[in-house]
């Protein structure tokens, strides 16, 4: 499966300022509320963003279209319960709050956030292996970038579905995701404004 990135219209950046984090948080809240009727505690989300290693946003023609957050794992504010199996797999971080607009290109936007976030984590952090709790319909998306379903389940408060824990490496996500997007490393790097 190849997803064309249409690079000239896309850009991404790492959120640094409180204003940028507020924009990412508001976008994320709107996406989860409108698409899945899920609401978040604003104060808790603000604290999770403050704990984040990285929050990335993707824009298409200047419009915010996707975001993703990574945190260290385990983390006191994580919704994922630490387990020996995750330690054995070398999990050192968590990928969460992947959100993309309801749009025919949402898969491309979400994948772009995953790939560029993975590149940033690979190149600018000491973290190498992530865990994510994924709704069952997202498992194939994670597999496409080298993650695997651990067979572990996680109940998330306020949701009626057991989420599945997937584990992957940032290096695999970056490499396999760039292939799916049809981008060379330098092209993907050009999308990310540092």
Write out the chain's pLDDT in tens, 194 residues: 334 444 458 899 999 999 999 999 889 888 877 766 666 677 777 788 888 999 999 999 999 999 999 999 998 888 899 999 999 999 999 998 888 887 888 889 999 999 999 999 999 999 999 999 888 888 999 999 999 999 999 887 767 778 899 999 999 999 999 999 999 999 998 888 75
DSSP helix, strand, coil percent of the chain (3-state; round to 5):
45, 25, 30
How would you class 13 by CB atoms within 10 Å of its CB: exposed for 0-12, middle for 13-18, buried for 19 or more?
middle
Q: What is the pLDDT of residue 38?
A: 67
pTM of the model: 0.88
* Sign of the Cα pseudo-torsion (113, 114, 120, 123, in order): negative
Contact present, 12 and 113 (Cβ < 8 Å): yes
Q: What is the pLDDT of residue 37?
A: 64
How would you class 157 by CB atoms within 10 Å of its CB: exposed for 0-12, middle for 13-18, buried for 19 or more?
exposed
41/77 Cα distance (integer angstroms): 12
How would you class 24 by CB atoms within 10 Å of its CB: exposed for 0-12, middle for 13-18, buried for 19 or more?
buried
Q: Tell me the CATH class for 7-193.
A: alpha beta
């Amino acid at each position: 499966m190849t997803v064309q990135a249409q690079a000239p219209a896309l850009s991404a950046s790492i959120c640094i300022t409180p204003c940028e984090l507020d924009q990412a948080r508001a976008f994320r809240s709107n996406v989860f509320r409108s698409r899945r009727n899920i609401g978040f505690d604003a104060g808790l989300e603000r604290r999770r963003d403050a704990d984040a290693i990285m929050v990335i946003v993707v824009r298409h023609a200047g419009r915010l279209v996707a975001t993703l957050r990574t945190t260290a794992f385990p983390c006191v504010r994580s919704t994922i319960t630490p387990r020996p199996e995750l330690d054995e797999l070398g999990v050192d971080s968590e990928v969460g709050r992947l959100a993309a607009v309801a749009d025919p290109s949402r898969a491309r936007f979400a994948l772009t956030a995953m790939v560029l976030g993975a590149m940033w984590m690979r190149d600018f952090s000491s973290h190498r292996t992530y865990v994510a709790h994924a709704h069952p319909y997202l498992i194939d998306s994670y597999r496409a970038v080298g993650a695997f379903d651990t067979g572990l389940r996680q109940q998330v408060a306020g949701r009626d579905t057991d989420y599945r824990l997937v584990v992957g490496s940032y290096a695999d996500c970056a490499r396999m995701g760039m292939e799916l997007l049809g981008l060379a490393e330098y092209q993907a790097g050009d999308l990310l404004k540092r």
